Amino acid sequence: MTSRQLVALGAAIAGLSVAAGAFGAHALRARLEPGDLLVFETAARYQMYHGLALIAAGWVADRWPGSPALPAPDAPTAVLLGGAADRLYRALSPARQAEFGDLPGVLRRLEADALAAGDASPIRRAEALSALEALRLDLLRMQAGEAVADQLTADLGAARQVADRVDQALEDGTRGSA
């Protein structure tokens, strides 16, 4: 669910709680026992809390880096590493992102290569995973405030070479089996 959807759902639920509270205060006051009316008011109040919580969750998801839904824990390692590195990249300042503009594409390429290599080419898969992990660690260091822009640049160049080698090996393997 996107942040916009969370806010919209929260607003709808909060609006319904206002309507329910007004209905209880005006239409049910004469028809319910005081204890039952108190239960109804409590339910309407709790519904408002839930609506506000969804709005807050949408706000946090939109503003807090790394808050998009995480991949399932049993997802392939390439997906987990690629997703983690991508979230760290998106947390960088726009100026830093501009320095490493092709990084998301390289991450997706390495992720796809590792998945495509699979068990058929464990060495190529390991190379792609190692490159993903090196980039992830560089981004983590950068987020922690360590000056590693040069290291990230070097690892990004190495990752491109790994991706080229894996692509070539996969292409050669496809030609050889056709």
pLDDT in tens, 99-133: 888 899 999 988 888 888 877 778 888 888 898 88
Q: CA torsion, points 152, 157, 158, 164, in degrees to nearest 10?
A: 140
Average pLDDT, integer, range 71-96: 82
Contact residues for 85 (Cβ-Cβ < 8 A; gap 6+)? 103, 107, 132, 135, 136, 139
pLDDT tens for each residue of 16-66: 999 999 998 899 888 989 899 899 899 999 999 999 999 988 888 777 655
| Res. 177: pLDDT tops 50 | no
Quote the mean pLDDT of the chain.
83
Cα–Cα distance measured from residue 104 to residue 67, given in angstroms and rounded to the nearest whole number: 18
Structure tokens at 145: 């405030």
| Res. 164: pLDDT tops 80 | yes
Contact 122, 166 (CB under 8 A): no
Q: What are the C-alpha distances in Å from 27 to residues 37, 40, 134? A: 11, 12, 64
Of 129, 131, 130, 139, the closest CA to residue 78 belongs to 129
Element (H, E) at 168: helix 149-177
Residues in the chain: 178
Cα–Cα distance measured from residue 24 to residue 8, given in angstroms and rounded to the nearest whole number: 24
| Res. 1: pLDDT tops 90 | no
Q: Report the pLDDT value the prediction gives residue 176, as an integer from 0 to 100.
A: 45
| Res. 172: pLDDT tops 50 | yes
